[in-house]
Amino acid sequence: MHFALRSSGLMAAGLACRAAASCRARAPTFHRGSLRPIHTPVFSATAHFCQSKQRKDYALPNPSWSQDMVAQFNRYMEMTKDGTWKRLPSYRNFLDHMPESMVQEHAENGNRENRMFLRNTDEEGKGFEYVMFVNSSEKKMVCVFQPGPYLEGPPGFAHGGSIATMLDSTLGGCAILAAGRVMTANLNVNYKNPVPLGSVVLVETKVDKIEGRKLLISGQVRSIDGETLHTEATGERSTVLQA
C-alpha cells in the first residue's frame, strides 16, 4: 500500500508538471531508423513544479531505444499536437517531481539518493524503458514499453512481474486522472503470450467505471501491430480519504 501511495503521488506530480506551461519539455523529433477529477487532486498544476525541468526527463528518446520504440514515440507525439494526447514526464527520484517547498515535508520517507523502482538502473536500455501518454477525453492511458535484459524471466523473455509492474503503473495513472490520490485495492493479471526482451509493446488502459471511492480499470499489453495480445488485466483503485 505504501508503494502504491508513493507511485500515485509521483504520477500526480508528473501530471501537474506537464500541465504547467513553463514546465513543458520540448521533445525532439526522430526519423524512423479531460478527465475531470471527482476529488481534489494531490497536487495542483502550477508553475511551482518548474524546478523539475532541471532534472533529466527519462520519458524522452535515448540511444537504447529501438527504431520501433522511437517510431511509437513519434506517433504519439504527433497526436499531442492537437491536444488529444499528452506526454507525461518521468524523473528518477520521487522528490524530483515535487516543488522545493514540499520536499522537506516528505524528506523523512525519501531522499535524493533514493530511486524510483522503474528508473533504478545506471545504464540506458537495461531495465524499464518507457514513456506514457494520456488521452483525457477518452479516459485512456498508453505506455510504450521496451523491456531490457535486466528484466529477464524465461530466457529471452520479460519476467511476468515486470509486465505486471507496467500494467499496475499505467492502470494507476488512469485512476489518478479520475480521482487524484488513490491506492491499489487489487490487480488481476492474465498472461497470454510472453513479451520478448527488447521488443516494444503498448500497455493500453482505461477507466471503465467509478463507484463512489472505487475505480474499476482495465488494460491490455499488445504488440505494436495489434496482432498479439500478450497480457490483459483488471484492477481496482480506491481514493484516499484526506486526514
Contact 235, 187 (CB under 8 A): yes
The residues that are catalytic are 168
Amino acid sitting at position 19: A
Mean pLDDT of 164-188: 82
Contact 130, 173 (CB under 8 A): no
Confidence of residue 184 (pLDDT cuts 50, 70, 90): confident
Residue 75 lies in a domain: yes
Residue 49 lies in a domain: no
Which has the closest alpha carbon to 56: 92, 86, 20, 28?
A: 92
Which has the closest alpha carbon to 129: 83, 172, 166?
A: 166
Residue 228 lies in a domain: yes
Amino acid sitting at position 12: A
The predicted pLDDT at position 5 comes to: 39
Amino acid sitting at position 235: G
Residue 11 lies in a domain: no
Residue 153 lies in a domain: yes
Domain span at 60:
54-91+117-239
Question: How far is Cα 140 from Cα 134, in angstroms, rounded to an integer?
Answer: 6
The predicted pLDDT at position 162 comes to: 97
Residue 12 lies in a domain: no
How many domains does the chain contain in total?
Answer: 1
Q: Which helix (H) or strand (E) segment is 118 a member of?
A: none
Question: How far is Cα 225 from Cα 64, in angstroms, rounded to an integer?
Answer: 21
Residue 32 lies in a domain: no
Average pLDDT, the chain: 77
The predicted pLDDT at position 178 comes to: 64
Q: Which cell numbers hold the place of 10?
A: 509521483
The residue among 48 and 184 whose pLDDT is bigger is 184
- Does this model's pTM top 0.85? My answer is no
Of 12-26, 139-153, 229-243, minimum mean pLDDT range: 12-26
> Which phi and psi (to 5°) does residue 35 adopt?
-65, 125
User: The domain spanning residue 181 has which CATH number?
Assistant: 3.10.129.10
Residue 33 lies in a domain: no
